[in-house]
Structure 1
Amino acid sequence: MSKFRLSLFMVLSLLCFIGGVDSAMAQGKVKKDLFKAKSPKIQYVRPDTTILIKYDEFPDDQSDADKSIFFNPKKELSIVSEDTSELDLGEQHIVEMSEEVLVDSTWIRIAGYYAIWDTRNINPYRMDGRQLKDTVDIKLYDPRSNRNYKMPLVETPVTSHFGSRGGRWHYGTDIDLNTGDSIFAAFDGVIRINKWDGGGYGNYIVVRHYNGLETLYGHMSRPIAQVGQFVKAGDIIGLGGSTGRSSGPHLHYEVRYQGNPIDPENMYNFPGYLLKGESLTITSALFNYYNRAKSSSSGGRRTSYHTVRSGDTLSGIGKKYGVSASQIAKLNGISTRTTLKVGRKLRIR
């Protein structure tokens, strides 16, 4: 009997030891997984209303850059149910975005909001920043929650600032680069637009971020990230170039809140290669430039010129600006077969 009791004691001790290890491992797992962030979930929901509003449009080029300031609905919101495969079809949806964290092996929803999801229009939102009544505090990054930030380029020498430029308003900051340089996502988010705009942004991408901001990256030689793709701050989303309405290789970088452009230099110290702070306070005062922007852009159609470089052809120039070679030839009183002289200025529009 004593041997039996000893054996039983050893078995029970072994079971208790194993149970203790499992418990410790479980506790360790809970600690390790605590507040582990889950990628935002996109879920289609049916809205109560689909109210469309009128919009103003600048009498200028029909590029995305020129018509992005005001809400420009192409049709009534098309609502589908639980079908993320339609994210890249270019339709407008109202979607529910939800944020979750893993606590004790269970995903807990910590935040949710409704927003329009549109893969074609830069500004599909029904919001005028000048009418903003509340103060909105945007958390730009939070290392404790594994929410980081990244400058859009390895180096950020500014070549053109936000504001009036050449009789029109420039809604972003231009940063110098070499063709083929890597362009990085500024914050965690999801790709909303990957599109070509021959008369403006060229190849460009718009990223919707978890913190409520959106960033736009224009004139890429090659966009890499695809619509609906989740990206982390610092992920490569494209390569630098000079596509669209561009006089040379650079990144046109915009920051927007619900479609309203914000001067990036309110957030960034570009020479210092860093953000000015962990958060950004948004008030209606940030958008007081709107009236000046509209007046500077309402003088009628703008005349555009291109300076011929070595290797340029009319068809190549036309493709760059989204116009036909015959149109360029007609505007300049030349034939489509004319040999182009380096340094000559050609009228594009």
Structure 2
Amino acid sequence: MRWLVIILLLVTTGSWAQNRPRDFRDVKAPPIKTYTLPDSIAEIGDTTEVVEEELDDAGEASEELQRELSIVSEDTSTIDEGYTGMVEISEELQIDSVWVTLTEYYSVWDSRRINPYDIDATKFRDTVDIELIDTTTSRLWAMPMIRDTTYVTSGFGMRGYRWHYGSDLKLSTGDTVVAAFDGIVRIRSYDPRGYGYYVLVRHYNGLETLYGHMSKILVKVGDLVKAGETLGLGGSTGRSSGPHLHYEVRYQGNAINPEQLYDFSNRQLLYNQFQITNNQFSYLKEVRKLAYHRVRSGDTLSGIAHKYGTSVRTLCRLNRITPRTILRIGQRIRVR
């Protein structure tokens, strides 16, 4: 009996061992077959290489574009209202089929500032001959306005507490204002506290002339004008007490007394050729003495500003003070 039980146990154990669940750790992975890449996959690989090459080209193009943009940025960084810095020094302007290099004419073209040249005329040591009239090229001259008579109502020099940089010529509102010499319009603008509506013309002969207080401007920046050609109509705009033409003559931005060139009462040009020396700019030493005001009893910032034709804000900026700053007698206030 005992042997029978042992035999039965052995048979049952062997049967269970064959049928028990297999542990996944005991399962051997099937051998991996080696596959050959299909032709389509190989083609994709080739295409990928081409795309990478195109991306490299695009990267180079991007770098070139960035360089181009940086150049454009440099060229246009100074462009503001008007045309300051609009042209490079090496550029040329074609005026009546005559090429004029800006370095020979002026190195600056600015349609906003009357004097952008930053040249100290007190240090002027040269003698320059200006051809006011050149009959061989039909470049003539004209009085700056069309009237039978021309009267100077206020001349070049000290006027009140300010320096007057031109000659005031009597006219009636609506009288025609014309270019004195052939040239190109550099500025047309409006200055409510000064020139009113005004035009500045750059001339072939190297001078520039300014026409202020007009009631209407009939030219635009860049217009070519001949001597005697209409610029606008006379008036009394800006800082003006009555109809007149404020007329200025400038060389390299610095004003010259117009009555050194004209006999206004006889409506004549004094010279065909005008010589410029440092004598024309000796007045600047007097002008620079007016750059400071010494405070007296009763002075206020508003009173000083009115006296010198400026603003309280400008005085505060120049002197690093505020409108509430208490002024001391004897204190120097910079006014320009």
> Offset at 1:145?
1.4
* Equivalence for 2:143: 151
Pick from 110, 117, 136: which aligns with 2:109?
Answer: 117
Alignment partners' CA distance in 2, 1:297 and 1:265: 26
1:91 aligned partner: 84
Counterpart Cα distance in 2 of 1:191 and 1:303: 33
SS of the residue corresponding to residue 107 of structure 2 reads strand
1:290 is aligned to 284
Shift of 1:296: 3.7
Distance in 2, Cα, partners of 1:99 & 1:222: 28
- Secondary structure class of the residue paired with 2:305: coil
Structure number with higher relative contact order (C-alpha < 8 Å, ≥ 6 residues apart): 1
Matches within 5 A, 1:159-308: 159-296=153-290, 298-299=292-293, 300-303=304-307
**Matched position secondary structure for 1:133:** coil
Distance in 1 of aligned mates of 2:215 and 2:100: 39
State how 1:133-144 maps to structure 2 within 5 Å: 133-144=125-136
Separation (CA, whole Å) in 2 of partners of 1:176 and 1:243: 14
Question: As a proportion of its length, which structure holds more helix?
Answer: 2
Residue 118 of structure 1 aligns to a residue whose secondary structure is: coil
TM-score (normalised: structure 1): 0.58
| Percentage of matched positions with identical amino acids | 48
CA distance in 2 between counterparts of 1:124 and 1:296 reads 21
Post-superposition CA distance 1:32-75 (Å, at most 9, x none): xxxxxxxxxxxxxxxxxxxxxxxxxxxxxxxxxxxxxxxxxxxx
- Contact kept in structure 2, 1:98 and 1:113, CA below 8 Å: no
**Of 97, 118, 124, the match for 1:126:** 118
Q: Helix, strand or coil for the counterpart of 1:178?
A: coil
Q: Distance in 1 between matches of 2:124 and 2:307?
A: 35
**Higher strand fraction: Structure 1 or Structure 2?**
1
Count, aligned residues: 220
Q: Quote the offset at 1:167 in angstroms.
A: 1.1
Provide the C-alpha distance between the structure 2 equivalents of 1:229 and 1:257, rounded to a whole number of angstroms: 20
Q: What are the residue-to-residue correspondences of 1:326-337 with 2, within 5 Å?
A: none
Taking structure 2 as the reference length, what is the TM-score of the superposition? 0.60
Letter of the structure 2 residue corresponding to residue 193 of structure 1: I
The answer on whether the counterparts of 2:133 and 2:273 sit within 8 Å (CA) in structure 1 is: yes
In the TM superposition, residue 215 of structure 1 has moved relative to its aligned partner by 0.3
Aligned to 2:41: none
2:165–2:248 CA contact under 8 A, matched in 1: yes
Q: Give the distance between the partners of 1:177 and 1:166, measured in 2 at CA.
A: 23
Where does structure 2 lack aligned partners over 5 or more consecutive residues? 1-73, 294-303, 310-336
> Is the partner of 2:108 in helix, strand or coil?
strand
Secondary structure of 2:289 counterpart: helix
Cα offsets for 1:173-226 (capped at 9, x unmatched): 000000000000000111000001000000000000011100000000001110
2: CA distance, partners of 1:79 / 1:253: 35
Contact 1:242–1:250, Cα closer than 8 Å, also in 2: yes
Helix, strand or coil at the partner of 1:225:
coil
Q: 1:281 to 1:301 in 2, by over 3 A?
A: same
Superposed displacement of residue 90, structure 1: 3.6
**Equivalent residues of 1:101, 1:109 under 8 A apart:** no
Q: Which residue of 1 aligns with 2:48?
A: none
The answer as to whether partners of 1:167 and 1:297 remain within 8 angstroms in 2 is no
Question: Which sections of structure 1, spanning at least 5 residues, go unmatched?
Answer: 1-77, 81-85, 306-349
Structure showing greater radius of gyration is 2
Determine the C-alpha separation between the residues in 1 that align with 2:95 and 2:233: 32
